[in-house]
Amino acid sequence: MIGGIRRCVFAFLAQENDKSYILTNCLYEDAGDQACYAEVVYMAEKRASLFVPVRLLIDQEEHLQRVTNPIRRNRWKSIDPKDVYDVTPLLSISHPNFLELNVSRLSPEDVAATIMNHIKLLQT
């Protein structure tokens, strides 16, 4: 069901190319997530839009502190500390616009500014 919903959303986004979109997801090194990534790349190409894959890294201690914050429940996010210790390999990304950023000591505003600066550099 999720794949069908995703395909509908991607079809809509492919036609809605007067706006920019940010898609967030944790993708792992498996066939399903590789296919999802390929769909996003294809959608960006179809839209003729700039595609910027971003991987956010975080230190385990900081990750534990953030994940266990009860406020996350308000956004239907997990607060299970076991999530921090997941060692499933993340999707390997080889793309010229790829940005990898350690957010452990950055505010959300600093993270957003860093990503936007990266995008501005790609547009020049």
* pLDDT tens sequence across 57-109: 999 999 999 999 999 999 999 999 999 998 899 999 999 999 999 999 999 99
User: Are residues 58 and 45 located together in one domain of the fold?
Assistant: no
User: Are residues 46 and 78 located together in one domain of the fold?
Assistant: no
User: Are residues 25 and 62 located together in one domain of the fold?
Assistant: no
User: Are residues 46 and 59 located together in one domain of the fold?
Assistant: no
User: Are residues 56 and 45 located together in one domain of the fold?
Assistant: no
Structurally, the chain folds into a number of domains equal to 2
**Which helix (H) or strand (E) covers residue 89, if one does?**
none
User: Are residues 41 and 71 located together in one domain of the fold?
Assistant: no
Residue 18 has a pLDDT of 87
Residue 3 has pLDDT above 90, yes or no: no
User: Are residues 82 and 122 located together in one domain of the fold?
Assistant: yes
Segment 8-32 shows an average pLDDT of 91
Q: Which residues pair with 64 in a beta bridge?
A: none
Residue 2 has a pLDDT of 84
User: Are residues 84 and 29 located together in one domain of the fold?
Assistant: no
User: Are residues 22 and 67 located together in one domain of the fold?
Assistant: no
Residue 38 has a pLDDT of 95
* Range(s) of the domain holding residue 15: 1-51
- What pTM was estimated for this model as a whole? 0.87
User: Are residues 58 and 35 located together in one domain of the fold?
Assistant: no
Q: Which residues pair with 88 in a beta bridge?
A: none
User: Are residues 47 and 57 located together in one domain of the fold?
Assistant: no
Whether 54 and 93 have beta carbons less than 8 Å apart is answered as no
Residue 119 has pLDDT above 90, yes or no: yes
Which ranges of 1-124 would DSSP assign to H, the alpha helix?
2-15, 31-47, 60-67, 108-123
Domain boundary among 31, 51, 71: 51
